Structure 1
Amino acid sequence: MKTMSAKAAKNGFGLLLDTARAEPVTIEKHGRPVVVVISVEEFGRLSAELGEAQAEAARGNKIK
């Protein structure tokens, strides 16, 4: 996972977008991680996984 400062993300927004399409990017402010930027495809995949896990939990199955 790549890491960028908030200032670098602001000044290089195009680079942030290009990088986040390939892999998650952690944005740091004052040296501390504050957000992670991910592609819409990765967000969709994670949302689907979460939905499946919640459905299993609702059926009474344990989440692995």
Structure 2
Amino acid sequence: MRTLTANEAKTHFGDMLLKAQRNPIQINKNGKPVAVIISADEYRDIEALKLQVLQSRAAQARADIATGNLVDGDTFFDELEAGQHD
């Protein structure tokens, strides 16, 4: 992934937008990453994937409820926050 400073991104905004159509561009400010510029198509793909994951988790939750495979709320949210709940 190409990296630009915030000043470079501002100075070369048009060029950055063109390059972001091909590859993500990371923007750093004071040496720290603050943003990633991606194409609109890539953003839509990411949002669609997030929705698919959420729908899959909802379907699994419904199946778990139907079969009595239940956990208490605290455990569920702890696992979800840790990225462990499928």
Q: TM-score, normalised by structure 1?
A: 0.92
* Runs of 4+ residues deviating >6 angstroms: none
Q: Quote the residue 2:24 is aligned against.
A: 24
Secondary structure of the 2:60 match is: coil
Distance 1:15 1:30 in 2: 22
Q: Identity of counterpart residues, as a percentage?
A: 34
More strand by share: 1
Q: Quote the residue 1:3 is aligned against.
A: 3
More helix by share: 2
Deviation per CA, 1:2-36, whole angstroms, max 9, x where unpaired? 10000000000011101111111000001100000
Instruction: Note the aligned Cα RMSD (angstroms).
Output: 1.0
Q: Quote the residue 1:12 is aligned against.
A: 12
Q: Quote the residue 2:41 is aligned against.
A: 41
Q: Which runs of 5+ in 2 are unaligned?
A: 62-85
Q: Which runs of 5+ in 1 are unaligned?
A: none
Secondary structure of the 1:7 match is: helix
Q: CA deviation at 1:60?
A: 1.4
Structure 1 letter corresponding to 2:14 = G
Distance 2:58 2:19 in 1: 36
Larger Rg: 2
Higher relative contact order, structure no. (Cα contacts within 8 Å, ≥ 6 residues apart): 1
- How many residues matched? 62
Q: TM-score, normalised by structure 2?
A: 0.69
